[in-house]
Amino acid sequence: MREVAVIGVGMSPWGELWRSSLRDLFAQAALEAMKDSGAPRIDSMVVGCMSSGLFNGQEHLGSLMADYAGLRGIPATRVESACASGGAAFRTGVLEVASGASDFVLVGGVEKMTDVSGDAATRALSAASDFEYEAYQGATFPALYAMVARAHMDRYGTTRKQLAMVAVKNHENGLLNPRAQFRQRISVDAVLGSVMVADPLRLLDCSPITDGAAAVVLCPKELAVKLKKKPLIKVAGIGQASDCIALAQRKDITRFEAAALAAQRAYKAAGIGPDEVDFAEVHDCFTIAEICVLEALGFCKTGQGGRFTEEGHTSRLGRKPINPSGGLKSKGHPVGATGVAQIVELVEQLRGSAGERQLSKVRCGLAENMGGTCGSAVVSILTREGA
Amino acid sequence: MREVAVIGVGMSPWGELWRSSLRDLFAQAALEAMKDSGAPRIDSMVVGCMSSGLFNGQEHLGSLMADYAGLRGIPATRVESACASGGAAFRTGVLEVASGASDFVLVGGVEKMTDVSGDAATRALSAASDFEYEAYQGATFPALYAMVARAHMDRYGTTRKQLAMVAVKNHENGLLNPRAQFRQRISVDAVLGSVMVADPLRLLDCSPITDGAAAVVLCPKELAVKLKKKPLIKVAGIGQASDCIALAQRKDITRFEAAALAAQRAYKAAGIGPDEVDFAEVHDCFTIAEICVLEALGFCKTGQGGRFTEEGHTSRLGRKPINPSGGLKSKGHPVGATGVAQIVELVEQLRGSAGERQLSKVRCGLAENMGGTCGSAVVSILTREGA
């Protein structure tokens, strides 16, 4: 396998963008990433998107987006793995470069979620659950994650306040991110006083509905060296895993097996362990999700995710900064774009170009992107080479 | 890049299958392919599906299908490129094996289309067109292909009878295929007398709505040799290409550029030209589609697809048998499964295990799968190695 580098990144604005269409958003991110990359051409494209069919009446995104990004004719494929669509697209693109089939591959992610009613959006998102056993029975994602939260609190003594502290920390980070959808400081009291969505999860425990796109350009490491990309950002390892998607079929709903398995595979490929990871972007679609993921990635012991958060280890200045971008909670969560945007954040931090939110001395970053209640997960580890 | 072999194939029944769910169909095809392959394990999975969101309220198919095929935990990704989803999934799986990331990869395709009304199915399928410029304006696929047919007749003198002969020939082939949805002989008069759908296309010019799945197992050639797979079926070349998906943006709507480009790439990778192809499965979603594809693949000259058909060259006993399986027209067209089922047919013909429909002396087969009105296309060339 050829080693793969990330040589360009781009993002559209994120938010409620009623004046931009699905293709507008994608093209903005793609053009920015291509310009940033300095690539002489794009050989192939992969688009991550969860449900443009239900949100926009539009499938066939590979060709549509290639055309509107000025790349008509190239192979272009859409990849879907619910909210892990962006991460799965990134892995698909990395394998295409690694195989030798293509040199310069654009990987983008996009979702345009605000053109339908809240009810229709909830139904579209519930297509990430097991339709026959969950969605059809009325279970929505806040309800499913609420069951995970309740079980975690019951089994490990995780507190309502610890959940709130995930949201407070991510909003604090998002304040420094000009691209974040919600740049506002919130307090633990504000979370605890926000409207109940699915007990114990309240509005400020939940990531928002967002329109947005993100894109990256990949190439073999040796071509990145020729293009004089400094610092050189290398894909050190990727792991992907699946699980049953219905919570009722799991042995332990507080343990995110797919994230743990994907992380093991990524660590093995990169030849490192969790201690060598300097910072991470993780899939905080709900506050409880970030807590479960901290455990699955091996950043803390099983059951200790809430305490690890409360002790401040995951803050910008802690020993394992988590979601310096603001995460899904503050930056927004256009589902198909999220996994690609996590890679954008890793690259900007590793390049030292993250502006006000720049972390100090980071050489190794990890992105964890997951679908549904962790029915699928992709973990990517990126490292900065050289000085 | 490692060379890749196809070592196992499987299919579910195809038809109006109201007693089988999306996951049932997929699992049947997957289990059959795994059994046929003799693979010691499956490392990863790719699922082609066009629009399970609109047809079934279900996305996140990679993990769901891995779980129900008994493969919980493996990386599993869904790939979409409208009606070329199966072909794009096949290419994605081939690249994963070629890269060295996985040895044994299951590629499946599935679509469950008959659980919604005909109107809802038409709307779901129209998501393969450009929603803003075509579907939203009321253009359905029969209408779009009718415009292609009218232009081809006008420019090249293609006759209504030649269109009909594509359907007659494919139904003749389907008579020999126990898995075909419509095993019935039809005549030119029956086509010309069938109900008008979109002038000049009549009911018997159109492929049906179908439930079904298909699957194949891939591995590196050297492992296929170790497994003593004889004859050894090798992926000699794959090409994929995109085009603008809206017909109105094309220079010439009778020329399927994406199919031509995909074919050029596949021929180049395989080191052959159209003359070395012994037979092909092509995407005859409408009769005019097969005619345009014959030209795009270089089997006949531009504008001569109708005449080439009328002269009998594409029949079972002609010099270039096309769609020995019965094609989409007779075998059925569960959109996400079609591209994978084409590979199943190539493998069975090349193995000499195609039963009553076995072609004589075939060593090289080609599959052409396309999305929308050829907004995307995947061309795969398979060869039999050895005696």
Position B143 scores a pLDDT of: 97
Write the residue in B88, B96, B130 that is nearest to A64 by C-beta: B130
pLDDT band per the 50, 70, 90 thresholds, residue A209: very high
Classified as helix, coil or strand, B371 is: strand
Closest CA to A293 of A212, A366, A237: A366
Neighbour tally for B225: CB within 10 Å: 14
Query: Chain A contact for B101, CB < 8 A?
Result: yes
CA distances, A217 to each of A44, A360, B91, B321, B381 (Å): 10, 25, 20, 42, 29
What are the tokens at B319?
Answer: 């010099």
Position B336 scores a pLDDT of: 98
What's the CATH class of domain A4-117+209-232? alpha beta
**Residue B260: enclosing H or E segment and its boundaries?**
helix B257-270
Q: CB B67 to CB A123 under 8 A?
A: no
- Average pLDDT over all residues of chain A: 97
Three-class HEC string of A18-76: CCCCHHHHHHHHHHHHHHHHCCCCCCEEEEECCCHHHHHCCCCHHHHHHHHCCCCCCCE
Q: How far is B269 from chain A (nearest CA, A)?
A: 10
Domain boundaries, chain B: 4-117+209-232, 122-207+237-385
Do residues A344 and A357 make contact, with C-beta atoms less than 8 angstroms apart?
Answer: no
CA distances, B221 to each of B4, B224, B228 (Å): 5, 5, 11
Write the residue in B51, B75, B123 that is nearest to A242 by C-beta: B75
Contacts of A73 in chain B (CB under 8 A): 241-243, 257-258, 261
In A69-159, where does DSSP find H-type helix? 85-99, 118-126, 141-156
Query: Chain A contact for B211, CB < 8 A?
Result: no
Contacts of A130 in chain B (CB under 8 A): 58, 64
Radius of gyration of chain B (CA): 19
Write the residue in A66, A127, A240 that is nearest to B242 by C-beta: A66
Residues 6+ apart with CB under 8 A from A119: none
Q: CB B81 to CB A79 under 8 A?
A: no
**Residue A9: enclosing H or E segment and its boundaries?**
strand A4-11
State how far the Cα of B336 lies from the Cα of B88, in Å rounded to an integer. 10
Position A386 scores a pLDDT of: 74
- Over residues A225-234, mean pLDDT: 95
User: Is position B152 annotated as part of the catalytic site?
Assistant: no
Write the residue in B101, B127, B135 that is nearest to A95 by C-beta: B101
Q: How far is A382 from chain B (nearest CA, A)?
A: 17
A192: Cα separation from own chain's centroid:
26
CA atoms within 13 A on the CB side of B350: 35
Selected catalytic residue, list B206, B285, B333, B374? B333
Closest CA to B309 of B148, B145, B156, B141: B156
State how far the Cα of A282 lies from the Cα of B278, in Å rounded to an integer. 51
Q: CB A88 to CB B101 under 8 A?
A: no
Amino acid identity, position B132: E
What are the tokens at A5?
Answer: 């580098």
Query: Chain B contact for A269, CB < 8 A?
Result: no
Phi-psi region of A157 (alpha: psi -120 to 50; beta: other; left: phi over 0): left
Can you give the pLDDT of all 387 residues of chain B as single tens digits?
Answer: 999 999 999 999 999 999 999 999 999 999 999 999 999 999 999 999 999 999 999 999 999 999 999 999 999 999 999 999 999 999 999 999 999 999 999 999 999 999 999 899 999 999 999 999 999 999 999 999 999 999 999 999 999 999 999 999 999 999 999 999 999 999 999 999 999 999 999 999 999 999 999 999 999 999 999 999 899 999 999 999 999 999 999 999 999 999 999 999 999 999 999 999 999 999 999 999 999 999 999 999 999 999 999 999 999 999 999 999 999 999 999 999 999 999 999 999 999 999 999 999 999 999 999 999 999 999 999 999 974
What are the tokens at A342?
Answer: 């996590």
* Residues within 8 A of B (CB atoms), A 21-40 only: 21
Q: How far is B244 from chain A (nearest CA, A)?
A: 6
Peptide linkage before A334 cis (omega within 30 of 0) = no
Selected catalytic residue, list B83, B206, B364, B374? B83
Contacts of B74 in chain A (CB under 8 A): 241-242
Q: CB B60 to CB A82 under 8 A?
A: yes
Closest CA to B90 of B290, B307, B240: B240
The predicted-structure confidence for A236-286, as pLDDT tens digits, reads as follows 999 999 999 999 999 999 999 999 999 999 999 999 999 999 999 999 999
Write the residue in B62, B63, B242 that is nearest to A74 by C-beta: B242
With tokens 């389907």, the residue in question is B174
Q: How far is B180 from chain A (nearest CA, A)?
A: 27
A-B Cβ pairs (cutoff 8 Å, strict): 221
**Residue B32: enclosing H or E segment and its boundaries?**
helix B22-37
* Residues within 8 A of A (CB atoms), B 303-362 only: none
Adjacent-strand bridge partners of A342: none
What's the CATH class of domain A122-207+236-382? alpha beta
More confident residue, A118 or B56: B56
Q: What is the DSSP string of A289-342?
A: HHHHHHHHTTSS-TT-HHHHHHTTTTSTTSSS-B-TT-HHHHH---HHHHHHHH
Q: How far apart are the first and last CA of chain A?
A: 25
What residues of A are labeled active site? 83, 333
Q: CB A62 to CB B88 under 8 A?
A: yes
* Residues within 8 A of B (CB atoms), A 47-76 only: 50-54, 56-64, 66-67, 71-76
A283: Cα separation from own chain's centroid:
5
State how far the Cα of B212 lies from the Cα of B207, in Å rounded to an integer. 14
Query: Given 3.30.565.10, 3.40.47.10, 3.40.50.2300, 3.30.70.980, which CATH number is that of B122-207+237-385?
Result: 3.40.47.10
Q: CB A63 to CB B81 under 8 A?
A: yes
Helix B287-296 to helix B141-156 angle (10° resolution) is: 60
Amino acid identity, position B245: I
Classified as helix, coil or strand, B143 is: helix
Query: Chain B contact for A220, CB < 8 A?
Result: no
Q: CB A81 to CB B78 under 8 A?
A: yes
The predicted-structure confidence for A125-135, as pLDDT tens digits, reads as follows 999 999 999 99
Residues 6+ apart with CB under 8 A from A254: A148, A151, A152, A155, A156, A292, A303
Q: Is there a shared CATH topology between the B4-117+209-232 domain and the B122-207+237-385 domain?
A: yes
Peptide linkage before A200 cis (omega within 30 of 0) = yes
Contacts of A106 in chain B (CB under 8 A): none
Position B386 scores a pLDDT of: 74
| Interface ipTM | 0.97
Do residues A347 and A6 make contact, with C-beta atoms less than 8 angstroms apart?
Answer: yes
In B127-220, where does DSSP find H-type helix? 141-156, 160-174, 188-193
